Amino acid sequence: MRALVLAAPGSSLELREVPVPEPAPGQVLVEVAACAICRTDLHILDGELDRPKLPLIPGHQVVGTIGAVGDRVADRRTGDLVGVPWLGWADGTCRYCTSGRENLCPDARFTGYDLDGGYAERLVVDARFCLQVPRGFEPVAATPLLCAGAIGYRALRLAGDGGLIGLYGFGNAARLVTQIALHEGRRVFAFTRPGDTESQRLAVELGCAWAGDSTERPPEPLDAAVLFAAVGELVPLALAAVSPGGSVVCAEIHMSDIPSFAYELLWGERIVRSVANLTRRDGEELLALAARIPLVTSTRTFPLGRADAAVEAARAGSAETPVLVPG
């Protein structure tokens, strides 16, 4: 089969012919229909997440159909349309797994990082960690839901149920979270790079009540803020914008250092917390909610042979999520 292979961090992806993987007991073989590119993929390509399996087939926003089922798989069938998210395996026995926090499992393995991912025509996955995609979603349109959507959903839940949410960085995840928050009757303020009037315009068109530069104070205090920009300097700014008792949730897997700030910004029982990975429950709840709303994604497809162009589109922060397709 054809696959995009990362030989070393900082190198270009290479399109290679590699053996078709065979599903082991407990695994399924997924025929890849589409795999979206995520900012986490860029951190892996650039060596900012520094312990990937090498050589590696990246990609963790995968949608495809099950082509073969290994032994000891009871709840997945050939032909099922499934999504393959970032969390690809957890031991199921540690104190985190047994308390509903499998995202913190110390032995967890991640798709497109510890395990070969979806920048390929096929991949094998643990049957427990592939998610049923609801009817009505086309594979390409569903791909951003597997990470941008699911991590955004988890971040929104950790931010609490306040009526006014600030989103710092208005990329793909923020656009999905905005749709969820508006569906729940909340108001959303969007914060973008200074001078990014195009993203601010898109935010208002999507229904945000206000949009402005990330360095600005919003017109009223926020109940909570979610940071989708991997910029540590935004944490003190978000704390200053949040009301007492509110939360600042950092949703990126990699972020620049947070500078020191006055205790006064934290005082008033404000909270700063991170989002670490996602659970299967997050993915299942998000996919079900996405079908009910329904969530609208914006994508642009690239064949595997144009991976460099797709990666550059992701780096540029395109309003359309770059999606690799095997055809």
| CATH number of the CATH domain containing 209 | 3.40.50.720
Are 173 and 209 in a shared domain? yes
- Neighbour-count burial of 26, counting CB atoms closer than 10 A to its CB (0-12 exposed, 13-18 middle, 19+ buried): middle
Residues 70 and 193 reside in one and the same domain: no
Same domain, 239 and 95: no
Do 111 and 89 lie in one domain? The reply is yes
132 and 56, same structural domain?
Answer: yes
Give yes or no: residues 33 and 122 share one domain. yes
Q: How confident is the model at residue 251 (pLDDT cuts 50, 70, 90)?
A: very high
Q: What is the pLDDT of residue 171?
A: 92
pLDDT class of 158 with cuts at 50, 70, 90 = very high
Indicate whether 262 and 282 sit together in one domain.
no
Render pLDDT for 195-244 as a digit per residue (tens, 0 to 9).
Answer: 999 999 999 999 999 999 999 999 999 999 999 999 999 999 999 999 99
Mark whether 298 and 195 lie in a shared domain: no
Q: Which of 259, 274, 289 is at the close of a domain?
A: 274
Q: Do both 55 and 27 map to the same domain? A: yes
Q: For the domain that residue 73 is a member of, what is the CATH number?
A: 3.90.180.10
Residue 17 confidence (pLDDT):
98
Residues 138, 99 share a domain? yes
Q: Look at the alpha carbons of 143, 325, 29, 6 in this order and tell me if their dihedral is positive or negative.
A: negative
Domain count for the chain, please give it.
2
Torsion of CA 88, 143, 160, 93, to 10 degrees: -10
Confidence at residue 319, expressed as pLDDT on a 0 to 100 scale: 86
> How much is the pTM?
0.95
Question: What domain range includes position 109?
Answer: 2-144+278-325
Asked, as a colleague might, if the bond just before 55 is cis with ω within 30 of 0, I would say yes
118 and 154 share one domain:
no
Q: Tell me which long-range contacts 97-100 makes (C-beta under 8 A, separation of at least 24).
A: 100/279, 100/281
39 and 140, same structural domain? yes
The two tokens of residue 152 are 């955004």
Q: Point out the domain boundary residue: 256, 274, 292.
A: 274
- Which of 274, 289, 314 terminates a domain? The answer is 274
Q: What is the pLDDT of residues 288-303, one digit of tens each?
A: 999 999 999 999 999 9
